[in-house]
A and B are shown apart, each in its own frame.
Chain A
Amino acid sequence: MKSGMLPVSVASELAIVIGGVRILVRTDSAELARLLAERYGSFATLTSHPEEKAARPGEWSAFELDIELTAPPARVDPDEGVRVNHKSGRWVMERGDFQAEWDPERRRGWVRQAANPYSLDTVLRIIHTLILAREGGFLVHAASAVRNGRAFLFAGVSGAGKTTISRLAPSGVLLLTDEISYVRRTATGYEAFGTPFAGELARVGENIRAPLSVLYLLTQGTPNRIEEVNEVDAARAVLESVLFFAQDAELVKRVFQSALDFVNTVPVKRFVFKADASAWEMVG
């Protein structure tokens, strides 16, 4: 038999770059790779050339994640929370629809999941929170957008108006996300990055970054107005909005310090807005 006739398993690999963090995702399933490429849009690239695996200037060196496909779970509880634990230097993550491990020192991990894009989405969110926690950044329940080169965050619990304010964005405003914002610390302040983590808008954000100008705490009401928020309330609100998966003492400490550093640097204001186009007159 000629070697060329042997069945060969061809692995597909995507580089999913969010917040300047390149994660190389490998799978034997071309179908899953296609689903993921579609899901992550401009944030994902099929790495057919070796140079696409390497980090670009300004990015951190790449992390690697292998996906092992399993049969779909017999039953998925939509309310089931994800469990994240730190064991022997590795982060162990699990929910009914996936199991995963992540070794930050070796910069690699694996996911066992069925062929859907949703399980990996949760794993990626957790990994990004862990990476960001090391450098003073975080993922936060907030819409975000760029106007005139500056980024604005709109934080709030479900129903506060994140998707509403996103839908009302006028032309010239570039939407980074309507649900999960990506905040990284820089030498001079903070930057917000676009994310593919969408809410009700079901649309991936613009794959861009901009210096963060203000974080608004959203409340719907009239008339449109911006109110001052004291530091303690601002810190409380930011901590309540930060995505937080693991009850690990060291991680709690880092997230706490990050949120308070953020409040000391970035203005936090309450934005009471009426759900019409006039709301954006207050932003900027």
Chain B
Amino acid sequence: MSQLYVLRSEEIAARMMAGEMMIMSPRDSTLFSLNKVGTVIWNAADGQMPLDEIVQQKVCARFEIDLTEAFKDAESFVRELAEHGLLALSDQPIEAAQQSVQANAADEALR
């Protein structure tokens, strides 16, 4: 199985509010409020740590969640955010400067 790297978009509006991360898509103005697990994944989405490590080290270490189930949910979660332009996805580590290129490539891959 290839690795999945995730990187937060720098162009989007996001803010913590009452313990939840609120994010708005610049593409379609959809508003997301992430729960605690989603917020952990969001904060760890630096383009360098693969998603399975994020789930194992950041999510399962803090929440009592089955690893396989957590990874499945996390993958579905990041793909949804990527569809709204909030995250870039790649099978290679992503540098912040590459973000827009990768995001476009991810867009194409999602179509």
Contact = CB atoms under 8 A, between A and B. Distances in A.
Interface in A194-250: 230-232, 235-236, 239-240, 244, 247-249
Contacts of A249: 11-12, 26-27
Interface in B1-53: 11-13, 15, 17-18, 20, 22, 24-29, 31, 33
Contacts of B17: 231-232, 235, 260, 263
Q: What interface size band does chain A fall in? A: 10 to 19
A91 interface: no
Given A231-B18, A232-B20, A239-B24, A252 B13 contact: yes
A239 B11 contact: no
Contacts, number: 45
A244 B29 CA distance: 9
B22 A235 contact: yes
A247 B22 contact: no
Interface residues of B, number: 16
Contact of B18 (A232, A253, A256): A232
A248 B18 CA distance: 27
Contacts of B15: 256-257, 260
B86 to A, nearest CB: 12
Contacts of B22: 232, 235, 256, 260
B24 A252 contact: yes
Contact of A253 (B20, B26, B27, B33): B26
Contacts of A232: 17-18, 20, 22, 33
Nearest to B28: A247
Contacts of B13: 252-253, 256-257
B18 A247 contact: no
A236 B31 contact: yes
Nearest to B29: A252
Contacts of A253: 11-13, 24, 26
Nearest to A242: B29
A13 B37 CA distance: 58
A236 B33 contact: yes
Q: Please classify the interface of chain A as helix (H, G, I), strand (E, B), loop, or mixed, using the class held by over half of its residues.
A: helix
Contacts of A263: 17
Contacts of A230: 18
Interface centre among B12, B31, B33 (most CB of A within 10 A): B31
Contact of A247 (B20, B29, B31): B29
A50 to B, nearest CB: 42
A239 B12 contact: no
Contacts of A260: 15, 17, 22
A232 B39 CA distance: 14
Contacts of B12: 249, 253
Contacts of A239: 24, 31
A248 B28 CA distance: 9
A183 B20 CA distance: 26
Interface of A: 230-232, 235-236, 239-240, 244, 247-249, 252-253, 256-257, 260, 263
Interface of B: 11-13, 15, 17-18, 20, 22, 24-29, 31, 33
Closest 5 interchain pairs by CB?
A: A249-B26, A256-B13, A253-B13, A231-B18, A256-B24
29 contacts: A231-B17, A232-B17, A232-B22, A232-B33, A235-B17, A236-B31, A236-B33, A239-B24, A240-B31, A244-B29, A247-B26, A247-B27, A247-B28, A249-B12, A249-B26, A249-B27, A252-B13, A252-B24, A252-B25, A252-B26, A253-B11, A253-B12, A256-B13, A256-B15, A256-B22, A257-B15, A260-B15, A260-B22, A263-B17
